Each structure stands twice: as structure tokens, then as C-alpha cells.
Structure 1
Amino acid sequence: MEQLVQQMEAYKKEMAAFEGKTPEAVEAFRIKFLGTKGIVKDVMGGMKEVPNEQKKAFGLVLNEFKQFAEARYEELKAATATEGGEAAAGYDWSLPGDQIGVGTRHPLSIVRNQIVSIFRRLGFAVAEGPEIEDDWHNFGAMNLPEDHPARDMQDTFYISQNPDWLLRTHTSSVQARVMESQKPPIRVICPGRVYRNETVSARAHCFFHQVEGLYIDENVSFADLKQTLYFFVQEMFGKDVKVRFRPSYFPFTEPSAEMDISCLICGGDGCNICKHTGWVEILGSGMVHPKVLENFGIDPNKYTGFAFGMGVERITQLKYQVNDLRLYSQNDIRFLKQFTGAV
């Protein structure tokens, strides 16, 4: 017992002489003396070697030793806190702060907002819908029944069957929901992300972004469609861009056409981007199929309409000459910083 008392006195002197000028030093003190494997716990373990008749007296000594260690720890902790407070109080708050980097919108967001802005000036509202869709709104309502061969053009991510739920393959599903809930006249654009089971490469990705448009009213003609898209192209790419329409096929429009513009990379002379034709396809379009109108109780003898759809990645590629679609989703800060001035 006498030996333990001498050890405690030596430890008290060590604790009293300890200088903890930093929070790290104070923490080291706590671990050494008050930790689960610290000196205080080790000394208190010597209680089992004390004779029973001396345990009460020795217990008081141990308790006083423990209280001394805890008090010294609190004293050191308070001292470091005071020093930190004094340092903070003496800080010159008029000094300039650290520079904060200026961020920017993602290039796809920049172009999407530009597309939305252009069509809003033509009176188009913006409509959005769920990315997880049922088969009817994604395919059936768009004149694509289960056995339609055109479904093979859209490799689909199915989530469940019977009933079929899937990741939407186009934002035409949003058009379907608009026609389901509204009566003509209808004039909306539908931006959003879509998904298709395609191999990821410089020219394709398993997800991408679309902006589709729909206009239904009395006496809407193909001439209205062409003038709307002419206006969009000139506002997006400039007055000097040439435009051409090519006959095409889409199940939900009849007649249908794809629209090309003169290649902005080579000026129409021919390059890898335009496959040496001088033209680049940017969207598909056409007059809304009467069957689609009937699916939503819209009289095709009274109303007509047009629809179109474009890929935001393709428009961005042409506008900013991006040569790899994977760059949009890799979060490479070196790529994204190039668009700081384009907000």
C-alpha cells in the first residue's frame, strides 16, 4: 500500500507539471491518465492487493487521486479554450476572405434552358412527368402496341412485368399525360431525361436528355411545324444556318420528317461529324397521328397537331463542338470549367 501511495504522489507531480498548450496535448493528457488503459485506472486496479482492513482508508486516497487527475484535465482544457478564444477575439475581421470559385451550370442545363426560352417566346408551356412509366403512356398511347416492330428501335429498361413498368424511352410519355389531362388547344414542350439500353460510347449513352414539343389546335398544318422549327434553328444557331426536311417514319406522327441543319463544324464542306455529307440531323417531327388523338378522346376531324423531339446532347455537341457524349456525365472539372462564361 505504501508503494502505491508513493506512485500516486509521483503521478500528481507529473500532472501538475504537465503543460498542455494545444487541444492535441490536452487530449494526450486525458488518454495517458484518464483513458480506459490510463494510469488512474491502472492504479485503482491495485486495490485488490490491499488488505481488507485497509481498503476503506485506501479507497479514500484513490478517490482523491482520481479527482485530482480529472480536475487537472478540466483545468488544462479550459486554458486551451481561453487561449483559442483570445486568439479569435484578436482576429482582424476586416481582412479579405479566401476566394470562392465561381461555378457554372452544366452545359446540358445551359442548352436546355436556351431551348425552353426560345419555345416559351412562341407560347409553349413546360410540362414534366415521371421517369418511371407504365407501358401504356410510354408505348401504347403513342400508337406503339405490344407487337409493333418500331418498339425494337428503343431498347428498353423494364423494371417489372404484368403490369409493365419501365424507364421511359422518350418524353412522349409526358405528351400523353398532357393530352390525358387537358383539352385542346395544347401547346407544350417536354424536357427531361430518358433511358435506353445502349452501349456507352462517344456517340451514344444509356441515358440522355430530350426536349419534345406538342401543338394541337384547329387548323394546325405542316407549314406551322416548319415555321416553328425554322425559328428555333435560327435563334439557337444563327441566321446563316441552312435547314432541310427529309421524309421519315414515326408511329405517332403522319406524315413524318427528320430535320437537318448544315454542319456547324465544317460549314457544310464535309467532316467526320456530318459523315462528309455537310448535313447533321438534329430532330424528328411530324403531324400527330389521328390514332394518337383518338386515344385521348380528341376528335381528329376537328383538331390537328404537330410534334417534334430533339436530343439535348446533340444540340450541345453542335453548339459547343463537344466530340464525346461521355464527357457530359464524367464530372471532369476541366471540361465543366470551360462553360463558366456561358451561364
Structure 2
Amino acid sequence: MEQIVQQIEAYKQEIAAFQPKTAEELEQYRIKFLGTKGLVKALFGEMKSVPNEQKKEFGQVLNSFKLLAEGRYEEFEHLKNGAADASAHQDLTLPGEPHRLGTRHPISIVRNKAIRIFERLGFTIAEGPEIENDWHNFTALNLDENHPARDMQDTFYVHNNPDWLLRTHTSSVQVRVMEEGKLPIRIICPGRVYRNETISARAHCFFHQIEGLYIAENVSFADLKQTLYYFVQEFFGENFKVRFRPSFFPFTEPSAEMDISCLICGGEGCNVCKHTGWVEILGCGMVHPQVLENCGIDSKKYTGFAFGMGIERLTMLKYQIKDLRLFSENDLRFLKQFQGAV
């Protein structure tokens, strides 16, 4: 035992004189004294050869030595990640790296601009859940279970009986607001929607919408047209043509679709406008009386109009982008182009 104690005293002197300069020297110390095959573990292994009456005394010596070795290691722990080497090679005269500023996504830019335009007209923002039930997404909007118009909004069902699904439009938010019965109503409903569609340059399985709803007494189709004329002029400027086409939507009557001359090809024809020179930007119409009644609103006293537009399509026209898939690919080369548009 006395020989082992003498060895321990020699090791203590070595530890006291230890002054590492690099992380490598510190690691060598750890391996030699504290590693799985280090001296501390080896000395504890000598306990079995110590007489029983001396085990307590020898154990105290070993514990003291172990604490000394660990304590010395922790004094230089800042060297473990090479901090000393890094600081030794730092040139403090070099210019610092500038912070890179991010940019808003083009969808967010267009969404915010559209919201600001409608806010000037007195519209407020309403939001709702993306996972909806069948009543708010379809039935309340005059889309019965077997209505053929449901085929145009094939979606992703989460649960059947009762039906829960990913909403196909933000019209479900309009239903929820109408059910509250606080009239008049003047809202826009921006948000993400989902449809089971083939992904292409013009379509995706998810996209973003802004829908609007205005319900009060004596609301007319003329109010709808002037609202939308104001929006497109504020959003796109005045160097384009506008047309309304009669259409059909189960939740509006009469219904129309609004087109503008294609801003990408100037009306000459391209893949975005399907070589017609016109691009549909939204659908609209007067709220169907049955929809009002479904939501507890007296259709003989109140009338209203509704409209809905895809934000991706507005963005494609605004910035002359020819492929809708670019919005969801997270390609920084594409996104950095909008840094000046924040």
C-alpha cells in the first residue's frame, strides 16, 4: 500500500504542474488520468489487494486523488472545444460579417397588400379553423351531400360520420360569422385552403384565398362591382382591361367571374392565361337567399354580396411568375428576388 501511496503523491505533483495550452493537451490529460483505462480507474482497481483494515484509509486517499484530478481538468474545460486555438488565430482588425436581412414571402406581401386595400373600404379580418366540418364547408353554403359542384372541390377528409375535412375555401369562415347574427357584416377571410388537385404550373393541392362578404339592407350587385373595380385598380393599376362573365356558384345568385387582361403576356396569350389573353382572378355574386336562411338571417330584409380570389394567382400576375409551384419550393434564389418588396 505504501508504494501505491508514493505513486499517488508523484501523480499529484504532476497534476499540480499541468498547464495545458491547447485542447489536444487537455484531452491527453483526460485520457491519462480520467479515461476508462486511466490512472484513477487503475488505482481503484488496486483496492482488492489492500488489507481489509486499511481499505478505509486507502479509499479516502483514492477519493482525494480523484477529486484533485477532476478539479484540475475542469479548470481548463474552456479549452475542450478549441476555444483557445480559435481566439489565438482571430484577427480583430478584420471587418465583421453583416447580418443578413430576411424578406417576406411573395404570398405574404400580396396578402398584406390586399388586406390593406379592403381595410380602406371598411372590411375587417375574420379567421377560422383549417379543419372544418361538412356543415360549414359545404351544406350551409347550399352544397348538399350529392350536389355535383362538390366534385370541383374534392378535398382531404380527416374523419367520416361526422365528416371532418381540410377546408376547400374560406367561405366556411363566412358561415361562422353569419351564424353569430351580428349585422351588418363586412369582412374579408384570408387563409390557406386545400383541394385534391394535380400539381401543375397553375394548380396545387393547397393554396391561399381571400374571400369577402358584405351583408346589410339594400346591398346590390352594383355595390359588388364597384368594390371589385376599386380593388383591382388599387392593386394592379389602370393599364389593363376588366370584364365580368356570368357564372354559377351554389352559394350566390346571380353569380359572375371577373377577368382581367393577362399582365404577363399583355393579352397575346401564354400558359398562364391558356393563350386566351384573359385571366380569371375571382368569383363573386349576390349571397343566395337560402344561404342567409341557413345561417339564421332574414333573406327578405337583408341582402349581400360575396367574392373570393386566390392569392397565388394575384401574385403570379403582380410579379409575372409563370409557375405556381415556385411558391412552395423554398428556393432561396427565387425568394431573394422579393427583398426590395418587403
TM-score by length of 1: 0.88
Q: Where does structure 1 differ by over 6 angstroms across 4 or more consecutive aligned residues?
A: none
More off after superposition, 22-31 vs 274-283: 22-31
Instruction: Determine the structure 2 residue equivalent to 1:50.
Output: 50
Distance 2:139 2:28 in 1: 70
More off after superposition, 21-30 vs 296-305: 21-30
Q: How does 1:101-140 map to 2 (within 5 A)?
A: 101-140=100-139
Instruction: Determine the structure 2 residue equivalent to 1:18.
Output: 18
The Cα shift of 1:185 comes to 1.8
Deviations 1:143-179 (A, max 9, x none): 0011111111111111112211111110000110111
Distance 1:67 1:226 in 2: 84
User: Relative to structure 1, is the Cα distance of residues 293 and 16 closer, same or farther in structure 2, using a 3 angstrom cutoff?
Assistant: same
The Cα shift of 1:329 comes to 1.6
Q: In structure 1, give the amino acid aligned to 2:42.
A: D
Give the conservation status (yes or no) of the 8 Å contact 2:271–2:322.
no
Instruction: Determine the structure 2 residue equivalent to 1:323.
Output: 322
Give the conservation status (yes or no) of the 8 Å contact 1:175–1:214.
yes
Q: In structure 1, give the amino acid aligned to 2:38.
A: G
Instruction: Determine the structure 1 residue equivalent to 2:32.
Output: 32
The Cα shift of 1:269 comes to 1.9
Distance 1:212 1:67 in 2: 70
Q: In structure 1, give the amino acid aligned to 2:43.
A: V
The Cα shift of 1:333 comes to 1.4
User: Relative to structure 1, is the Cα distance of residues 334 and 14 closer, same or farther in structure 2, using a 3 angstrom cutoff?
Assistant: same
Q: In structure 2, give the amino acid aligned to 1:234.
A: Q
> Is the aligned partner of 1:303 residue 2:323?
no
User: Relative to structure 1, is the Cα distance of residues 262 and 46 closer, same or farther in structure 2, using a 3 angstrom cutoff?
Assistant: same
More off after superposition, 97-106 vs 257-266: 97-106
The Cα shift of 1:19 comes to 2.3
Distance 1:229 1:105 in 2: 26
Q: In structure 1, give the amino acid aligned to 2:259.
A: D
Q: How does 1:151-166 map to 2 (within 5 A)?
A: 151-166=150-165
The Cα shift of 1:181 comes to 0.7
SS of 1:123's partner is coil
Q: CA RMSD in A?
A: 2.8
Give the conservation status (yes or no) of the 8 Å contact 2:267–2:278.
yes
Distance 2:78 2:119 in 1: 63
User: Relative to structure 1, is the Cα distance of residues 227 and 76 closer, same or farther in structure 2, using a 3 angstrom cutoff?
Assistant: closer
Deviations 1:119-148 (A, max 9, x none): 111111111111111110110110001111
> Is the aligned partner of 1:336 residue 2:323?
no
Question: Percent of aligned positions with the same letter in both sequences?
Answer: 75
Distance 1:42 1:307 in 2: 83
Instruction: Determine the structure 2 residue equivalent to 1:186.
Output: 185
Q: In structure 1, give the amino acid aligned to 2:278.
A: W
Give the conservation status (yes or no) of the 8 Å contact 2:181–2:296.
no
The Cα shift of 1:57 comes to 5.4
The Cα shift of 1:60 comes to 5.1
Instruction: Determine the structure 2 residue equivalent to 1:286.
Output: 285
TM-score by length of 2: 0.89
Q: In structure 1, give the amino acid aligned to 2:73.
A: Y
Give the conservation status (yes or no) of the 8 Å contact 1:183–1:298.
no
User: Relative to structure 1, is the Cα distance of residues 8 and 147 closer, same or farther in structure 2, using a 3 angstrom cutoff?
Assistant: same
> Is the aligned partner of 1:145 residue 2:138?
no
Distance 1:18 1:162 in 2: 74
The Cα shift of 1:312 comes to 0.2
Give the conservation status (yes or no) of the 8 Å contact 1:34–1:41.
yes
Distance 1:251 1:79 in 2: 72
SS of 2:243's partner is strand
Deviations 1:279-310 (A, max 9, x none): 11111111111111111222222221111100
Give the conservation status (yes or no) of the 8 Å contact 2:106–2:315.
yes
Give the conservation status (yes or no) of the 8 Å contact 1:233–1:241.
no
The Cα shift of 1:222 comes to 1.3
> Is the aligned partner of 1:264 residue 2:263?
yes
SS of 2:265's partner is coil
The Cα shift of 1:74 comes to 4.8
